[in-house]
Amino acid sequence: MTQCQRDDEILHRLGRPAIVAATLVEGIGGGGVGIHNQAYNLFGDKLQDESHRPLLLPAASRYAEAMAGPMLYDLLKFAHITGVVMLMGNITVTAIWKFFADRDGRPQVLAFAQKLVTYTDWSMTVWGVFLTMIGGYGMAALAGWDLFGTRWLLWSQVCFVIAGMIWLVIIVPIQRAQAAMARGFADGGAVPEAYRAQSRRWLAWGLVSTLPLVAAMWLMVAKPF
Structure confidence at residue 16 as a pLDDT band (50, 70, 90): very low
- Cα–Cα distance, 214 to 217 (Å, whole number): 5
CA atoms within 13 A on the CB side of 14: 29
Burial class (CB in 10 A: 0-12, 13-18, 19+), 68: middle
Please state whether the predicted TM-score (pTM) of the whole model is above 0.75. no
Reported as a single tens digit per residue, the pLDDT across 4-14 is 555 555 555 54
What are the structural domain ranges in the chain?
3-66, 70-222
Least confidently predicted of 54-68, 167-181, 186-200, 205-219? 54-68
Question: Is the pLDDT confidence value at 123 over 60?
Answer: yes
Reported as a single tens digit per residue, the pLDDT across 138-151 is 988 887 888 998 89
Q: What is the pLDDT of residue 171?
A: 94
Instruction: Provide mean pLDDT across the span 115-134.
Output: 92
Report the candidate in 215, 76, 211, 75 with the shortest Cα–Cα distance to residue 157.
Answer: 215
- Cα–Cα distance, 37 to 112 (Å, whole number): 57
Length of the chain: 225
- Cα–Cα distance, 196 to 189 (Å, whole number): 14
Question: Is the pLDDT confidence value at 122 over 50?
Answer: yes
Q: SS3 for 190?
A: coil
Q: Bigger pLDDT: 186 or 42?
A: 186
- Cα–Cα distance, 114 to 107 (Å, whole number): 11
Backbone angles phi, psi at 106, to 5 degrees: -70, 135
Question: Is the pLDDT confidence value at 28 over 50?
Answer: no
Q: Bigger pLDDT: 4 or 81?
A: 81
Question: Is the pLDDT confidence value at 34 over 70?
Answer: no
Instruction: Provide mean pLDDT across the span 56-65.
Output: 54
Q: What is the pLDDT of residue 24?
A: 47
- Cα–Cα distance, 157 to 160 (Å, whole number): 5
Instruction: Provide mean pLDDT across the span 186-208.
Output: 91
Q: What is the pLDDT of residue 194?
A: 94
